[in-house]
Amino acid sequence: KLADVQVAVEAEVARIAEDGVTSGELEKAKDRFVRSMIFARDKQDSMANIYGATLATGGSVRDVEEWPGRIRRVTADEVRDVAARYLNLNHST
């Protein structure tokens, strides 16, 4: 049921905001993201979408090129801090 999914998602968001993520969870997420960027380079339409969205929102070609390195430098503490700041369930609708 949708209500069950919502409860589970809210519980996970609260856990991440409170406790952060494990190093294993973080490495898995970073690897998945970087791999998806590598695979996207094989498709012209994917790269056009990535560059187009980045440029349309004020980013640069350099930003796209630096994403993998920037993602790899993300720490578990940063994830927890961002989750606590932006994933506040008291402000959700």
DSSP letters for the chain: -HHHHHHHHHHHHHHHHHH---HHHHHHHHHHHHHHHHHHTT-HHHHHHHHHHHHHTT--HHHHHHHHHHHHT--HHHHHHHHHHH--GGG--
What was the pLDDT predicted at 92?
A: 66
Q: What is the pTM of this model?
A: 0.73
pLDDT at 58 over 70: yes
Question: Structural domains in the chain?
Answer: 2-91 (3.30.830.10)
Tens of pLDDT, residue by residue over 65-89, are 999 999 999 999 999 999 988 887 7
Q: What is the tens place of the pLDDT at every residue in 4-15? A: 999 999 999 999
Listed in sequence order, the residues at least 6 apart from 14 whose beta carbon sits closer than 8 Å to its beta carbon are 89
